[in-house]
Structure 1
Amino acid sequence: MTSHAVTPARCNNAATAAAVPPGSRWMKTLLIVAFLILIVWNLGAGLYYMLVDKGQSKRTVNALTRRIALSVALIIIVLVSIKLGWIEPHGVGA
């Protein structure tokens, strides 16, 4: 018979996950999804302005600049959240 030892890191993660209020998990997910929706919205707005304005205004550039700024902000938020332990990265299927 083999015994499966639980590593201390697994124990700490399980204890941390149990200590996190259930509502905060949804808030984190909601924040990330909201950022992704805004990014896609600005990408679509840039496409629309490019087709409608035909280069006569800077609305396309502004929409795409906002999209890039939102993407960079989301990446920074995720990295800071991982560093502070607010979210825990995991592999696919892990």
Structure 2
Amino acid sequence: MNDQTPDRYVTFMGLDCDGKATKMMGILAVHMATSQSRWVGYFQQKLEERARMGNDDLHFIGSQINALHAFFEELDDAEGLALLEHLEEHCC
């Protein structure tokens, strides 16, 4: 990013929203690779759409809060749910 491009996440300074979003996407990738859940196909489609649209991790997470919550709840992933809640409360 150059000095002329405003940081659209400037209000999130000090919260490391980008780093936490990257961590969330890693958790999602692991679950998608190891789960037989119906959510896997859904997220594959949404990730393909995300790539075509050029959206970042935080935008994807914000757009998929409810689906991510349902998926992590189905998998009984307390860590994933806690991180998702943090991102929703502080970053989205």
Find the structure with the greater CA-based Rg: 1
